């Protein structure tokens, strides 16, 4: 039976599920003894402590993070449709709350890029750019805006050589330290690499 426990330690168990017999382990938190066996008293992750000979079930805490209106999110531009003036963003996290196990889809329209006029979406962002944006609606695909100085591209890569672009001090220009290319984006004041 001990050999079998190595395989199921860390496994999700349901209430009432048999974990082991009382001769092998002592019931710990989240477990109970019934007719000589130790069973789970809650849904959770079973943990076997082989030194102390205690079996416990740690509760599964699920906090479902989803983008909400006015939350600040981080995402990566994965495609730009110049004909429709749209950028599609894979949203990976909510600022100060955490990362998603996967991603949500966001859309940035050229009209939501900046308070100033932007003629096409490629002036604002390019595929591979990491952006900081605010959510405008409550369902997927999430509509995003970067109409604030702290919103916009926070990390970008050179279109020619792939090197990380550096933001010039007191400027919104991005330049490549390798090939010396200058590139235009809607840059956030929170851009990660300033030189």
Render pLDDT for 85-112 as a digit per residue (tens, 0 to 9): 999 999 999 998 888 878 899 999 999 9
Residue-wise DSSP of 89-147: EEEEEETTTEEEEEEEEEEEEGGGS-SS--S-GGGT--TT-EEEEEE-SSSSSEEEE--
Tell which wins on pLDDT, 195 or 45. Answer: 45
Considering the chain, tell me which residue range(s) the CATH 2.40.50.140 domain(s) occupy: 72-183
CB 177, CB 194: distance < 8 Å: no
Tell which wins on pLDDT, 9 or 8. Answer: 9
| Confidence at residue 1, expressed as pLDDT on a 0 to 100 scale | 45
| Confidence at residue 7, expressed as pLDDT on a 0 to 100 scale | 47
Spatial CA neighbour of 102 closest among 130, 129, 75 = 75
Location of structure tokens 């509509």: 143
| Confidence at residue 119, expressed as pLDDT on a 0 to 100 scale | 86
Residues in the chain: 195
Band the pLDDT of 185: cuts 50, 70, 90.
very high
Maximum pairwise Cα distance, the chain: 75
Query: Is 72-183 assigned to CATH 2.40.50.140?
Result: yes
Spatial CA neighbour of 143 closest among 87, 92, 187 = 87
CB 77, CB 126: distance < 8 Å: yes
Provide the 10 A C-beta neighbour count for residue 182: 10
Residue % of the chain over a pLDDT of 70: 95
Considering the chain, tell me which residue range(s) the CATH 2.40.50.100 domain(s) occupy: 2-59
The 10s digit of each residue's pLDDT in 121-162 is: 998 999 999 999 999 999 889 999 999 999 999 999 999 999
| Confidence at residue 62, expressed as pLDDT on a 0 to 100 scale | 65
The 10s digit of each residue's pLDDT in 54-74 is: 999 998 776 678 899 999 999
Which CATH number is associated with domain 2-59? 2.40.50.100
Q: Return the SS3 of 47.
A: strand
Location of structure tokens 């990660």: 192
Gap between the Cα atoms of 128 and 155, Å rounded = 9
Average pLDDT estimate for 18-29: 91
| Confidence at residue 98, expressed as pLDDT on a 0 to 100 scale | 83
| Confidence at residue 31, expressed as pLDDT on a 0 to 100 scale | 94
| Confidence at residue 63, expressed as pLDDT on a 0 to 100 scale | 65
| Confidence at residue 155, expressed as pLDDT on a 0 to 100 scale | 95
């Amino acid at each position: 039976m001990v050999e079998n426990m190595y395989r199921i330690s860390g496994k999700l168990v349901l209430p009432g599920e048999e974990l082991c017999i009382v001769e092998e382990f002592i019931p710990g938190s989240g477990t109970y003894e019934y007719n000589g066996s130790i069973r789970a008293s809650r849904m959770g992750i079973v943990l076997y402590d082989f030194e102390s000979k205690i079996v416990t079930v740690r509760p599964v805490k699920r906090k479902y993070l989803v983008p909400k209106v006015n939350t600040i999110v981080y995402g990566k531009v994965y495609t730009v449709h110049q004909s429709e003036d749209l950028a599609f963003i894979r949203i990976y996290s909510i600022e100060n709350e955490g990362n998603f196990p996967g991603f949500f889809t966001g859309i940035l329209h050229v009209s939501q890029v900046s308070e100033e006029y932007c003629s096409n979406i490629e002036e604002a962002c390019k595929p591979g750019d990491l952006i900081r944006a605010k959510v405008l609606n409550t369902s997927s695909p999430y509509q995003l805006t970067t109409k604030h100085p702290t919103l916009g591209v926070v990390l970008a890569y050179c279109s020619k050589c792939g090197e990380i672009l550096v933001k010039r001090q007191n400027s919104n220009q991005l330049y490549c330290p390798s090939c010396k290319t200058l590139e235009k984006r809607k840059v956030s004041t929170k851009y990660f690499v300033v030189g």
